[in-house]
Amino acid sequence: MGAPRRLTVARTQDHHNQTDHAQPSPTPTAVPKRHLYRVPEAMALLSMSRSVIYEQIRAGRLRTVCQGRTRLIPAVAINEYVALLISESEVTYDQPA
């Protein structure tokens, strides 16, 4: 939670092409997007309360997986849930759904 962690990539010198030029400092790169999120992280990503998250899981609208006793929400499931919410919001009331 909080700001994403940064990963610094260290570059090694190529011993075959050594020069007297100063090497640029390593540039930080973002840590890759995660594939699985815990419920509190999904709460933050979706701006929803814990009870609403579990309600959506029980209703089958938000898919989860279990690893041991930990319930995890795949990033794909979060994207699908957001797409579902968007498609539901595009329904107009003067036309049948």
Q: What is the pLDDT of residues 32-88, one digit of tens each?
A: 588 999 999 999 999 999 999 999 999 999 999 999 999 999 999 999 999 999 999
**Distance in angstroms (rounded) separating the CA atoms of residues 16 and 69:** 52
Give the integer Cα–Cα distance in Å for 94 and 48: 29
Domain parsing of the chain, residue ranges? 6-89
pTM: predicted TM-score of the whole model, two decimal places: 0.60
Sorted by sequence, the CB contacts under 8 Å of residue 81 that are 6+ apart come out as: 46, 56, 61, 62
